[in-house]
Amino acid sequence: MTIRLLFALLTIFITVTAMTAATEADVSQKTWVAVHDFTVSPDLVKKGITGWSIAEEMENKLTQSGKYRMITRAKIAKVLKEKNIDAGGSLSPVEMGKVSQAEYIVTGELKKQGDRLVLIAKLLDVSHETGELEKSFDTWMYDDPDGKMNEPVSFMIAILAEKLTMTPGEFLENGLGRIKTKDYESAFEAFREMQRVTPFEQIKSIMQDIKKNPPPDSQLEIPATDRDAGKQFDQALALMAKGENRIAAKIFYGIQKNPQVGELIKLVEIAKALSKNQSERLETALEEASRKYWSAVKNKEQLEKDKDPRVLCDEALGQLYGVLNDKNNFLSPLTRRRVEQMAAKIEALKKGMYAGPSTAGLWVVPELEIAFVPIKPGILTGPANADKNNPQIRYRAKITRQFWMSKHEITIQQFSKYLISLTLNDRNARYQVEKCLNLTSEDCPINEEYNMKAGSGQTWGDPLMPMTGVSWQGAMAFCKWLTVAERAAKRLPEGYVYRLPAEAEWEYSCRAGNTDSRYYYGSDMAILGDYGWFSENSGNNLHPVGKKKPNDWGLYDMLGNSWEWCYDWYDENFLSFDCENPVGPKNSPDSTKVLRGGSFTSNAEDMFCSARYNFDYKLGKKNIGFRIVCAPAI
């Protein structure tokens, strides 16, 4: 649309849609201008943005341009005080014009549309009773990722202030110059804004006569440069406004005869195609990045399992940085800023996922990639064994403290990274580890270099299988190492550590609010295979974590695959009624710790939420693994 308009104008074949005509070519030649308070939507007012602050900054920008003679808000406030008139913000633009004796008032609106801030600026001719609209421009930016609105708003004010001071000829000059530098996006924005402030229907009318009787070149003012073309265009508009249409038409005709303008005309259609292609690619990249951003937010907060939110963030950032770094893309300052804003929002979201445990959603420990699910305080209730042996015995425990439980059992890959990092330059650490891990056992998935064994075995073959064969001591050593590392990184809440879950925490998390059922999904043993690996469906092998359905809180493999160490010493009696944050006895006569959840070797009938087992805390076994919590120290 804009290209057809410019092309037709410069080649004298003007066939455009009628636009509202400006009565004067250059408002800056008028007398006085004042700035009225902008309207700001209530949600943005709550964030500290006011119509007064926007108006003040707009006034400063317009004053600095030197294009208008400004009546400052300070002067208006003084007049209002002298005349005992209430605050200026309550006056309409026309009333403010009368009080300030300004002929033109600048005002506008700031609002939020989705994740965009939209700023509209208008120039009103208040010499008329109704305050006729002279110019209107708008722009948008994404809201700031940190919720600080001042910076993007200031950027938009500067853009619109410049447009408010530009004449049609200056827009023309700017557009032609941008085409030369291949900044097609800015060029067509300039032509679009030119279209808004130029009386093309009137130009079309006067040009029809001169087209029939073209004057000789000796009578024409043919501009030597783009800048001259812009100035002469404004001059012609001013003459046209005074009724000197024949002279104005000659100037328009002379502009078309300029050789440079003629060469630029040939580039218009090429530029149109290039601009459209670039704009479409850019818009597609922004829309796709925005979609992935909101999907990441949704996945993070609601713990949906469609896709890891960090992966979504990385994919979106890859697209955006690809646009920013593409040397074949010439981005205008505004568009570059928008792309950078979207990238900053995604970077901030991603950074938040690595900032430490949060009640808002998933927390992932960097490098090890251990994902944690937030577990809110609540009540654990259930039958002692949920089976035919003890159907009548019930228990109840209060979990009063927030904690986070790892979404999966700790994997071979994660444990290997820990071992390599821990023992890289520390012989003593290696000695301590090997006390807790029998590297020579055929059931151990890790070799003496702390890498997963080659080939396949009952308990290895995939780095995402649970790490088994680790003693309770070895699992706790892992937790202590992680606590030290995360505390040094300042990502641990005060008073919290990484440790094995207390037995009550484990069952509370396993049940996920299902208090009376045998399993966390209900009591139907026939569908247990949808939720866990056990002897009847495992093929007598461990399996990678997360391949079965999770419980209602997003925890995987709570039943089956590998038994899981708990913090507590084992006691035949699990809980007394109405206890609070229970932990097992202080010791065990046979040196055994609690195991929960069943394994790939367990029979289906022996796997249920309250099933318990015990094993020597100094030993490991091929079907015993562990998951961890970030929880208050005990």
Which residue ranges make up each domain of the chain?
1-22+167-257, 27-165, 276-350, 363-406+488-632
511's CB contacts (< 8 A; 6+ apart) are 380, 382, 517, 520, 551, 609
The DSSP code for 176 is: H
- How many whole angstroms separate alpha carbon 611 and alpha carbon 507? 9
- Among 161, 26, 178, residue whose Cα is nearest residue 106: 161
First to last CA, the chain: 71
Within 10 angstroms of residue 431's Cβ, the number of other Cβ atoms is 10
**Cα–Cα distance measured from residue 515 to residue 481, given in angstroms and rounded to the nearest whole number:** 34
Pairing of strands 612-616, 579-580: unpaired
Q: How far apart are CA 211 and CA 13, in angstroms?
A: 9
The C-alpha atoms of residue 99 and residue 166 are separated, in whole angstroms, by: 27
Q: Which two tokens stand for residue 276?
A: 């459209």
| Nearest residue to 140 via CA among 166, 114, 164 | 114
Distance of CA 355 to the CA centre of its chain: 16
| Pairwise CA distance, residues 442 & 459, whole Å | 9
Residues 145, 148, 151, CA angle at the centre, nearest 5°? 100
Residue 18 to residue 583: CA distance in whole angstroms: 80
Give the C-alpha distances (Å, rounded to integers) separating 200 from 16, 18, 192, 210, 580. Answer: 8, 7, 13, 15, 80
Which positions ≥6 away from 246 have C-beta within 8 Å? 206, 209, 210
At 560 the three-state DSSP class reads coil
pLDDT for 6 equals 40
For residue 580, give the nearest of 403, 402, 379 by alpha carbon: 379
375 close to 508: Cβ distance less than 8 angstroms: yes
Instruction: Enter the tokens of residue 303.
Output: 């713990």
**Tell me, what amino acid is at 246?**
R
Tell me the chain's radius of gyration from C-alpha atoms: 36
For 358, 408, 476, 581, 630, the CA distances from 593, given in Å and listed in that order, are 30, 21, 12, 18, 20
Q: How many helices (H) and strands (E) does the chain have?
A: 18, 18
- Tell me which fold the domain 363-406+488-632 belongs to: paralog of FGE (formylglycine-generating enzyme) (3.90.1580)
Nearest Cα residue to 98 out of 67, 134, 68, 124: 124
Residue 131 Cα distances to 80, 98, 136, 351, angstroms: 20, 11, 13, 49
> CB under 8 Å to 272, separation ≥6 — which residues?
3, 188
CA angle 37, 43, 48 (to 5 degrees): 60
CA 375 to CA 33: how far, in whole Å? 60
Mean pLDDT in runs of 10 for the chain (634 residues)? 39 28 42 91 88 94 91 86 68 86 93 91 87 91 73 93 92 83 79 82 81 74 73 89 87 74 52 58 77 76 61 85 79 85 86 80 86 94 58 79 96 94 78 85 90 91 96 95 93 94 96 87 92 96 96 96 97 82 92 97 92 94 97 94
3-class SS string, 91-129:
CCHHHHHHHHCCCEEEEEEEEEECCEEEEEEEEEECCCC
Is residue 609 exposed (0-12), middle (13-18) or buried (19+ Cβ within 10 Å)? buried
CB 546 within 8 A of CB 408: yes
> What confidence score (pLDDT) does residue 599 get?
97
SS3 call for 40: strand
Measured in degrees and rounded to the nearest 5, phi and psi for residue 38 equal -80, 155
- Sign of the CA dihedral with 81 first, then 83, 84, and 90 last: negative
Residue-level pLDDT at 269? 53
Tokens representing residue 349 in the block: 């979201």
Pairing label, strands 116-125, 104-113 = antiparallel
pLDDT of residue 19: 27
Q: What is the pLDDT of residue 301?
A: 57
Quick one: which of 496, 482, 634, 479 has its CA closest to 569?
Answer: 634
Q: Do residues 242 and 25 lie in contact, with contact meaning Cβ atoms separated by under 8 Å?
A: no
DSSP string, 143-156: PPTTS--HHHHHHH
Tokens of residue 106, six digits: 């600048």
Query: Bridge-partner residues for 378, per DSSP?
Result: 399
Superfamily of domain covering 27-165? ABC-type transport auxiliary lipoprotein component (3.40.50.10610)
State both tokens at 95.
């009333």
Mode of pairing for the β-strands spanning 32-35 and 104-113 = parallel
557, 409 contact by CB (below 8 A): yes
Residue 233 structure tokens: 């265009």
Other beta carbons less than 10 A from residue 524's beta carbon: 11
Distance between CA atoms of residues 82 and 230, nearest Å:
44
pLDDT at 47 (0 to 100): 84
